[in-house]
Amino acid sequence: MDRTKSKIAFEEARKVIPGGVNSPARAFGAVGGIPIFIERAHGPFLYDIDGNRYIDYIGSWGPMILGHAHPKVLEVAIEAARGGSSYGAPTCRETELAELICQIVPAVEMVRMVSSGTEAVMSAIRVARGYTQRAVIVKFAGCYHGHVDSLLVAAGSSALTHGVPSSPGVPEGATRDTVVLPYNDLESLQNLFQQMGDRIAAVILEPVVGNMGLVIPSKLFLDSLRRLTKEAGALLIYDEVMTGFRLALGGVQELFQQSPDLSVFGKIIGGGYPVGAYGGRREIMQKVMPAGPVFQAGTLSGNPVAVAAGLATLRELQRTSPFAYLDKLGEQLEVGIKLILHELKLPYQFNRVGSMWTLFFTDKAVIDLESAKSSDTDKFSQFFWRMMDQGVYLPCSQFEAAFLSVAHTPEIIEQTLKAVRTALVDK
């Protein structure tokens, strides 16, 4: 494929934007080469500025569950924009979206809108500390919760991709009260709570991980987290920025029948527009100012365009309930890829939950960060570019989950499988 215009655009961008991109996950640093500059998107497809079309498996890193430019979402967003882009004052649609989230997610009784997943996590952590009057936060290696100073330790996503799990500029004091454990490691978790359970304000995790590639929790791990936090008087925070309203209408909480104290959302609840939210039990959320003493504010929180798009998206998901269809597409893709890899006798792991998936090039079961890092990243890079050359756009890192949308079809999955076979055959 000719990508001359993207190459020129990248060189221009590097003169005025650090690294030429506005988020490290877009930089193609893990696979080499230059990032592709997108001109537009529709349904399951991306179109770059050179005129190439790609089957899209990143979906803006998760929010485009209905596909790009879905007519119902587009219509309400345009209508909302005509009424003004921001007011700095409350609107009825904010209440409607909050009511809908509370209706869909039983563990959420009150919710506060913000403008990004990072902001939502930062706020949830502050509320947890304010509510418990404790300082220690527990996270898991490879889970990414945005670029919050206190959680940018052993992070996943682009922090892992670029080989910088922690970042310069984060002072030692910011992470002094952050404890990092291996994901899915019940023994480490139990030992920590025995040693310092009365100091722990909260445990935060991706209940299905998307930021070291897709990693699935064991039921025992999730059940033990709930029990241990309750016994210690600590809060359990589910970061469902990726998984919320995607793996089921009620997210991982519905899928695995779990009930955290606080939940963090983003992506889908904005229909592709910048948005975030955090919510939980009423007694906890009543600590947030102005109802309580824990400060959190944001000029663009509950932005009318983002809220309108989010409402349209959630209502469409309620109306159509596409999760069985998405799971069926995922199964078609998984079975096809496994068959190809088995025939070619290549080592692999294919992790999938519903419409989220990752192909790892390793013979070791991927259950945590260490096993994820056993993957052959050179093999992945080669695979990535061969798929791109056949018009299939995958996440540009071994350590990022891929996403399906309602706009994908069985025919598109078959096209993808043909591309997979071609990409994996030695040339």
Q: Is the model's pTM score more than 0.75?
A: yes
Instruction: Report the helix count and the strand count for the chain, using DSSP H and E.
Output: 14, 14
Q: Which of 294, 320, 346 is a domain's end point?
A: 320
- Percent over 90 (pLDDT), the chain: 88
Q: Are residues 114 and 237 in the same domain?
A: yes
Q: Is the pLDDT of residue 40 over 50?
A: yes
Can you state the percent helix, strand and coil of the chain, rounding each to 5? 45, 15, 40
Radius of gyration for the alpha carbons in the chain, expressed in angstroms and rounded: 21
Cβ neighbors of 227 (< 8 A, separation 6 or more) are none
Cβ neighbors of 283 (< 8 A, separation 6 or more) are none
Peptide bond into 290 cis (omega under 30): yes
160 falls in which pLDDT band (50, 70, 90)? very low
- Write down the residue that tokens 């104290």 correspond to: 261
Q: Which domain holds residue 348?
A: 4-65+322-424
Copy the structure tokens of residue 3: 């990508």
Q: Are residues 180 and 219 in the same domain?
A: yes
Please state the rounded mean pLDDT for residues 84-102: 96
Q: Are residues 263 and 379 in the same domain?
A: no
Residues 71-74: contacts with CB under 8 Å, at least 24 apart: 72/312, 72/316, 73/271, 73/272, 73/309, 73/312, 73/313, 73/316
**Using one digit for the tens of pLDDT, what is the confidence trace for 230-258?**
999 999 999 999 999 999 999 999 999 99
The catalytic residue among 56, 139, 183, 267 is: 267
Confidence (pLDDT) at 262:
98
Q: Are 66 and 413 in contact (CB under 8 A)?
A: no
Q: Are residues 184 and 166 in the same domain?
A: yes
Instruction: Respond yes or no: is residue 56 known to be catalytic.
Output: no
CATH number for position 336: 3.90.1150.10
Q: Where would I find the H helices in 241-347?
A: 251-255, 282-285, 304-320, 323-344
Q: Is the pLDDT of residue 161 over 50?
A: no
Q: What b/e sequence results for 281-320 when a residue is b if at least 16 CB atoms lie within 10 Å of its CB, and e otherwise?
A: beebbeebeeeeebebeeebbbbbbbbbbbbbbbebbeee
168 falls in which pLDDT band (50, 70, 90)? low
Q: Which of 257, 286, 320 is a domain's end point?
A: 320
Confidence (pLDDT) at 27:
87
Strands in 356-360's sheet, in edge-to-edge order, are 349-353, 356-360, 402-403
Q: Are residues 306 and 367 in the same domain?
A: no
Q: Which of 300, 320, 340 is a domain's end point?
A: 320
Q: Are residues 308 and 344 in the same domain?
A: no
Q: Are residues 149 and 220 in the same domain?
A: yes
The catalytic residue among 48, 239, 261, 368 is: 239
Q: Is the pLDDT of residue 24 over 90?
A: no
Closest residue by Cα to residue 92 from 103, 80, 104: 80
CA angle 322, 326, 327 (to 5 degrees): 120
Please state the rounded mean pLDDT for residues 260-264: 98
Q: Is the pLDDT of residue 81 over 80?
A: yes
Confidence (pLDDT) at 427:
53
176 falls in which pLDDT band (50, 70, 90)? confident
Cα–chain-centroid distance for residue 125? 18
Q: Are residues 335 and 308 in the same domain?
A: no
**Using one digit for the tens of pLDDT, what is the confidence trace for 319-351?**
999 999 999 999 999 999 999 999 999 999 999
Confidence (pLDDT) at 146:
84
Q: Is the pLDDT of residue 187 over 50?
A: yes
The catalytic residue among 54, 144, 238, 348 is: 144
164 falls in which pLDDT band (50, 70, 90)? very low
Confidence (pLDDT) at 163:
38
Q: Are residues 346 and 314 in the same domain?
A: no
Copy the structure tokens of residue 348: 């692999």
Q: Is the pLDDT of residue 157 over 80?
A: no
Q: Are residues 262 and 378 in the same domain?
A: no
- Which amino acid would we find at residue 233? G
Instruction: Respond yes or no: is residue 239 known to be catalytic.
Output: yes
What total number of domains does the chain contain? 2
What number of residues does the chain have? Answer: 427
Confidence (pLDDT) at 30:
86
Q: Are residues 129 and 144 in the same domain?
A: yes
Using CA atoms, how far residue 366 sits from 239, 330, 362, 370, in Å, is 20, 18, 8, 8
Q: Is the pLDDT of residue 404 over 90?
A: yes
Q: Is the pLDDT of residue 162 over 50?
A: no
CATH number for position 254: 3.40.640.10
Compute the mean pLDDT over every residue in the chain, rounded to the nearest whole number. Answer: 93
Confidence (pLDDT) at 150:
73
Q: Are residues 34 and 11 in the same domain?
A: yes
153 falls in which pLDDT band (50, 70, 90)? low
Q: Are 91 and 302 in contact (CB under 8 A)?
A: yes
Cβ neighbors of 206 (< 8 A, separation 6 or more) are 140, 143, 144, 145, 238, 239, 240, 242, 243
151 falls in which pLDDT band (50, 70, 90)? confident
